[in-house]
């Protein structure tokens, strides 16, 4: 699975549970709620005021480790 800004958070978490720490580190603490699980990374970043490109880099770094 390639993680992009259009990836759905729930799909990323299901495929790569260790990415939860990355989401939590930028303030996305509601990872279990239905809205966030179905939300794209880009949409979540917009709501949280986070740079989506930076988050994608961090997620892919964790995935590659």
Residue 51 DSSP one-character state: -
> How many domains does the chain contain in total?
1
Q: Could you tell me if residue 4 is inside a domain?
A: no
Residues whose CB falls within 8 Å of the CB of residue 22, separated by 6 or more in sequence, listed in order: 55, 58, 59, 62
Give the pLDDT confidence of 3-41 residue by residue, as tens digits.
999 999 999 999 999 999 999 888 887 777 777 788 999
CATH code, 55: 1.10.3910.10
Q: Could you tell me if residue 15 is inside a domain?
A: yes
Give the pLDDT confidence of 46-63 residue by residue, as tens digits.
988 999 999 999 999 999
d(CA 47, CA 65): 28
Supply the range of the domain harboring residue 51. 9-64
């Amino acid at each position: 699975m390639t993680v992009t800004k259009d990836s759905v958070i729930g799909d990323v978490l299901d495929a790569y549970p260790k990415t939860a720490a990355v989401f939590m580190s930028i303030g996305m603490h509601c990872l279990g709620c239905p809205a966030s699980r179905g939300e794209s990374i880009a949409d979540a970043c917009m709501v949280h005021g986070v740079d989506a490109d930076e988050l994608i880099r961090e997620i892919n770094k964790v995935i590659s480790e």
